[in-house]
Amino acid sequence: MSTRSRTPRRDSMAGAVPCSLRRVQPRRRRFLPLASRMRAHRPHAGRSPMTTATMTPAPFAAEVVAATAVHPLPDGEVRLLGAVESVTGAMTRVEMGGRKLLVDCGIGQGAEARRWRFPDAARDVDAVVLTHGHLDHIGSLPMLLDGGYDRPILATKATLDIARISLEDSLSMQRASFREIQWFLSTFDRLARPVPYDQSGAPIGSLGLGLTFREAGHILGSASVDLTSDKSRVVLSGDLGRPDSPILRDPFDAWPDARPVDVVIMESTYGSRDHEHTHSDIEEKLLSVVRETVAKKGKVFIPAFAIGRTQVLLWFLNELVESRRLPKIPVALDTPMGLLVTETYGRFKKLYDKESVQKLSRGDDPLDFDDLFVVKRGKDSLRLREAPGPMIVIAGAGMVTGGRIIGHLVDGLPDPRNTLLFVGHQSVGTPGRRIQDAAKAGQTVWLDGEAVMVRARIETLRGLSAHADRGELRTWLSHIPNVRRVGLHHGELSAQRDLAAWLSGKPTASPTAPPHPGHSHG
């Protein structure tokens, strides 16, 4: 968007949007309640598309193993405490140089949530290192701190900020007391140690170990972790993003350090498949849904994960607005957590990719555009539900498991002029999946204690995955020189086995595996 006034233009919106809705403006973040004991999760967010070749590659030189919990090191071991044969609950204990580190402190989600138990082996560690701020990588931090952990928590500054928002939101949903919440926040702040990207071998306190964070391209602040001792070197991928994804830098640059790597622990969320959709596919689908709904004077409801997916949606909408392809209608951002995260993105513009930086240099904020409004107060969300279309409403949660989207759908699903546009996989058993199934059968769905007839059009926008596919995982791995062993994790067992075979040059099934169950941010 070209440089322009930030003053809301309410006159042209008369009768369409509640007058108290305001344009997106930077403000100081306020943190509210949080709890110190938690077992639930909240959904998050995602990212963009590219196509990958499907032919079997030449065998990868290193040994590749799937679903293996323990990997030996010259002076210790890497032990997976979570996400060994599943996607959620990432938690890895690294023993090297006589010290113990915990890389990520996640919690089980979906089907894993019922079986999740905090492992005792995670308690007695010298430091915690976080790869990014999604709950399946940080959700057990309240349990760890509640158990007496009082040592450093290291991450990029953006990850620490997003982790604070995410944990605050999730734990406040557990009805923790104000005192518990404030204790957790103050303890987290006291232990947090920000580490910049690409600071080679940054010392971890006085532990005698080195830490380097490298861009992972998954969400803002996400990082791959490079750990070194006098005798060992370990690289942990964290969650890896896609090439040419909106907003964030690619994670596919060559690693400058050529020292041998004893073990690489690599995610395998989409180890069985290749992504197919391009940016153009996404834009055309989004545009066609909006145009057809606007023609009926309806509303487009988009349930979106607050971290990553909401920001990517804003990026695509900005593209369509600036190219004058999107009809001029109001776009309401009705997600308090999504707004906090979007504001956090705005404070870390130095982490944006080249394209987004160029937009900013032209006065075009890639996460803002004319007719974008934010809804902060609950009473304004209620008024928005009564406002007539056409308009676009982005609200949480991404699988309709809670949040303000539920009220919008209670009012909006019975109206055939409206469209519900899903932008992520809807796991079995979630309200989002039940809506999809009810629409196919022309039935009702229960939302907020009401039987709601599904007459609105139901669509899915594909291609916004925040995880690298198998070809992209291989590309990332190939940029790390002198790898001796690769241990796969953070993937369903079938995906890990397929990826291990494919990397070893063995034929595998057609790469069309469906999205994994339970993982909430794609």
Show the DSSP H helices in 401-490 as ranges: 405-412, 431-441, 470-478
Average pLDDT over residues 103-131: 91
CA proximity to 365, closest of 352, 381, 384? 352
Q: Residue 23: what pLDDT? A: 43
- Opening angle at CA 251, ends 46 and 397, nearest 5: 10
Please give the C-alpha separations between residue 452 and each of 11, 300, 415, 445, in angstroms, as whole numbers.
Answer: 34, 17, 11, 5
Q: How far is CA 203 from the centre of its chain?
A: 28
Whether 399 and 426 have beta carbons less than 8 Å apart is answered as yes
> In what helix (H) or strand (E) does residue 70 lie, and over which residues does it extend?
strand 70-73
Q: Looking at the predicted structure, is the pLDDT value of residue 32 above 80? A: no
What residue spans in the chain does CATH classification 3.40.50.10890 cover? 278-460
What is the spatial order of strands in the sheet that 263-267 belongs to? 63-65, 485-489, 263-267, 233-236, 223-228, 210-215, 202-203
| Residues carrying CATH 3.60.15.10, the chain | 63-274+465-503
The confidence score (pLDDT) of residue 39 equals: 34
Interval 272-317: pLDDT, tens = 999 999 999 999 999 999 999 999 999 999 999 999 999 999 999 9
Count of Cβ atoms closer than 10 Å to residue 372 Cβ: 21
At 100 the three-state DSSP class reads strand
* pLDDT grade for 271, boundaries at 50, 70 and 90: very high
52 in Cβ contact with 75 (< 8 Å):
no
Residue 301 neighbours by CB distance under 10 Å: 25
Q: How many residues are present in the chain? A: 522
pLDDT score at 48: 37
Per-residue burial over 88-125, b if 16 or more Cβ lie within 10 Å, else e, is bbbbbbbbbbebbbbbbbbbbbbebbeebebeeebeeb
pTM to 2 decimals?
A: 0.87
**CATH superfamily, domain at 63-274+465-503:** Ribonuclease Z/Hydroxyacylglutathione hydrolase-like (3.60.15.10)
pLDDT value of residue 31: 31
Q: b or e along 479-505 (b: 16 or more beta carbons within 10 Å of the residue's beta carbon)?
A: ebeebebbbbbbbbebbbbbbbbbbbe
Sequence-separated (6 or more) residues with CB below 8 Å from residue 397: 42, 43, 303, 305, 306, 403, 405
The mean pLDDT value of the chain amounts to 88
- What lies within 8 Å, CB to CB, of 408 at 6+ separation is 299, 301, 334, 384, 385, 393, 395
- 502 closest CA partner among 270, 163, 240: 270
User: Is a pLDDT exceeding 50 seen at residue 27?
Assistant: no
Please report the pLDDT score of residue 7 as a whole number.
Answer: 34
Q: What percentage of the chain reaches a pLDDT higher than 70?
A: 86
CA 1 to chain centre: 26
Lowest mean pLDDT among 6-10, 144-148, 243-247: 6-10
* CA proximity to 165, closest of 332, 352, 403, 345: 345
181/504: higher pLDDT = 504
Which of 39-53, 60-74, 283-297, 304-318 has the lowest average pLDDT? Answer: 39-53
Give residue 223's pLDDT: 99
What lies within 8 Å, CB to CB, of 522 at 6+ separation is 45, 46, 305, 309, 424, 425, 464, 465, 466, 467, 515
Q: 405-432 b/e with 16+ CB inside 10 Å = b? A: bbbbbbbbbeeebbbbbbbbbbbeebbb
- The DSSP result for 251-287, as a single string, is S-SPPS--S-BSEEEEE-TBTTB-----HHHHHHHHH
**511 confidence band (pLDDT: 50, 70, 90):** low
How much is the pLDDT for 427?
81
Overall average pLDDT of the 438-457 stretch = 93
Domain 278-460 adopts which CATH fold? Rossmann fold (3.40.50)
Q: How much is the pLDDT for 34?
A: 32
Q: For 24-43, what is the mean pLDDT?
A: 34
Best mean pLDDT range from 174-178, 421-425, 514-518: 421-425
**What are the helix and strand counts (H, E) for the chain?**
14, 23
* Residue 292 burial (10 A CB sphere; 0-12, 13-18, 19+): middle
Is the pLDDT at 52 greater than 80? The verdict is no
